Chain A
């Protein structure tokens, strides 16, 4: 699986063979099971998969926010700007969180502290990481509110989260993430909890900010539609492993893993002739404590062969930058359609 061992200096974040486990009452869950991927400065990378596939855990592992003692990282490296985050002390990690790597969470409704003003919640990180005085921090807060498109900043900063709508709150979360000018933002399902119309606004905002400020972004989502529009590169995760990776264009054009294919088929598309119905993936996401031998996706896979039950398929190059972990990757039907919009 360690298909790449040489350090790549241009990488902002390089996750190598990461293993994260959780001890539950039903046994050990390998939420992240030997995963490698990377993010370059300024680019937008997507981590895609159903809920429970380990994508959020990956992000939390990077932040060092895996809840102990149930969860722990059992192996691998997380190289940020070339040095391994897993070797950092808690205090060193604290200095990186919010300053170097910021995070935007899925639930804007609950991720803001209800009893503190939004001003307080934006300024505190600057005060701690950048040593801002309250005045400087306030000025910065006004500035970032402007960046995320919230007008009337002075007044808004004195308000409490419940006085903002969902979309506005996610803007606030982004503002908080931006406040210390981090190099990388991890956005965990940033739009899932929002109305469809708001979703696009938020994603556009993020894309725009990322480009303007040169911040690298990791978007974690289950929605390939989102990926297609906003990500440069895509990693598809299933049951704690990466099953396919490539540029957004590659993956859209010709998914080389049955799971990716299934994901794409379950997304409604405007550019295709009306189908009978969407084709959701059969079956349930697997129980991570009782993974079948061989390929984890086999029980739900329409293309499974005997070999799939015995050997775990490795992640191998298909074409270009595209990799897939499927024994039958070459026999999959080629998808005869393009994504709605190809990222520039």
Chain B
């Protein structure tokens, strides 16, 4: 087990380094840089080329690319992501609040997705090819089919027109005012959670179907166990392995990938920051964000593998 964990852990390193290298190079291939984005976009545009060059030098952008990378990467190794090239503030400060928001939405959406997916998926599997199964499948596929931004627009419009009510505008951290916080975040969590529940529901259903066809389920039935016990003890644990993976990976995606939903629900989260950072050519911030999201993804992947191993003794003892 330990060897397995260490092996998987070590495999994370080249992936992360690869992500770092690619995003670093990618940003420098994209036309325009932070200095141009900042000083060449407003009404004045009266900034001279020398000033731009001086500003580049101040940000270290005049150095050779490999040197810039070395400086940045050395900082990353020390968990120092530097300062935002756009605002001049420390990256951690830029990300902090947005990360809290995105993390919370991701968590809530994952909870919503799980609460929907497990019962629905299991029922659909047990009642395969009946109207219950069809209803669940249509419900979940509809969730996949509806663009979340569209759903969001409809939701917001619904609130406004029917209830003449609007969710709060500004993020309040949960520990400051749980009620306000929930009032704002529950809606995107529902919209996104519904969408992601579709993936998990389908996975639960097919995984459950697969497990229910396994010989050991027949064995369990032949032992005369109660149906509930068969489901809980024998089927669920096996069926949950792929489901947990799917949910975990979706969670990692949600952390960094809610750009559109954040726009529709006016959430100032990582997704929006992402778009802003890259459209401002804020290299340091974009790099930090990409690395953060990729690391979250890779780590969740790793955690899933370890959990797999922990749940499934066949892997654990390999």
- Kindly state the separation between the CA atoms of A162 and B215 in the bound complex, as whole angstroms: 15
Closest to A109 in B: B215
Residues of B within 8 A of A176 (CB): 219, 223
| A114 adjacent to B226 (CB under 8 Å) | no
B1 close to A (CB within 8 Å):
no
| B238 adjacent to A114 (CB under 8 Å) | yes
B64 close to A (CB within 8 Å):
no
A37 close to B (CB within 8 Å):
no
What is the CB-to-nearest-CB distance from A312 to chain B, in angstroms, rounded to a whole number? 33
Q: B226 touches which one: A94, A96, A112 (CB < 8 A)? A: A94
B292 close to A (CB within 8 Å):
no
What is the CB-to-nearest-CB distance from A112 to chain B, in angstroms, rounded to a whole number? 6
B311 close to A (CB within 8 Å):
yes
Residues of B within 8 A of A129 (CB): 224
| A115 adjacent to B312 (CB under 8 Å) | yes
| A105 adjacent to B219 (CB under 8 Å) | yes
| A162 adjacent to B314 (CB under 8 Å) | yes
| B216 adjacent to A125 (CB under 8 Å) | no
Decide if the interface of chain B is mainly helix, strand, loop or mixed: helix
| A98 adjacent to B238 (CB under 8 Å) | no
**A96 in contact with B224 given A114-B313, A115-B313, A163-B317 (CB within 8 Å):** yes
Residues of A within 8 A of B96 (CB): none
Residues 215 to 236 of chain B near chain A (Cβ within 8 Å): 215-216, 218-226, 229, 233-234
| A112 adjacent to B238 (CB under 8 Å) | no
- Kindly state the separation between the CA atoms of A241 and B314 in the bound complex, as whole angstroms: 42
- Kindly state the separation between the CA atoms of A63 and B222 in the bound complex, as whole angstroms: 7
Residues of A within 8 A of B210 (CB): none
| A124 adjacent to B225 (CB under 8 Å) | yes
- Kindly state the separation between the CA atoms of A160 and B317 in the bound complex, as whole angstroms: 10
| B234 adjacent to A113 (CB under 8 Å) | yes
| B215 adjacent to A105 (CB under 8 Å) | yes
Count chain A CB atoms within 10 A of each CB in B216, B229, B237, B317 and give the residue with the most: B216
A97 close to B (CB within 8 Å):
yes
| B221 adjacent to A113 (CB under 8 Å) | no
| A128 adjacent to B225 (CB under 8 Å) | yes
Residues 97 to 118 of chain A near chain B (Cβ within 8 Å): 97-99, 102-103, 105, 107, 110-116
| B222 adjacent to A116 (CB under 8 Å) | no
Residues of B within 8 A of A98 (CB): 222-225
- Kindly state the separation between the CA atoms of A115 and B313 in the bound complex, as whole angstroms: 6
What is the CB-to-nearest-CB distance from B314 to chain A, in angstroms, rounded to a whole number? 5
Q: A112 touches which one: B216, B229, B237, B312 (CB < 8 A)? A: B216
**A113 in contact with B216 given A160-B314, A162-B317 (CB within 8 Å):** yes
| B313 adjacent to A112 (CB under 8 Å) | no
**A102 in contact with B222 given A111-B215, A116-B234 (CB within 8 Å):** yes
Closest to A90 in B: B227
Residues 265 to 318 of chain B near chain A (Cβ within 8 Å): 311-314, 317
A95 close to B (CB within 8 Å):
yes
| A115 adjacent to B225 (CB under 8 Å) | no
| A115 adjacent to B311 (CB under 8 Å) | yes
A173 close to B (CB within 8 Å):
yes
A334 close to B (CB within 8 Å):
no
Residues of A within 8 A of B216 (CB): 110-114
A65-B218, A97-B221, A111-B219 given; 6 more Cβ-contact pairs under 8 Å: A63-B222, A65-B222, A94-B225, A98-B222, A173-B219, A176-B223
| 18 A-B residue pairs with CB within 8 Å | A63-B221, A95-B224, A97-B222, A103-B222, A105-B218, A111-B218, A112-B216, A113-B219, A113-B238, A115-B238, A115-B311, A115-B312, A125-B224, A128-B226, A160-B313, A162-B313, A162-B317, A176-B223
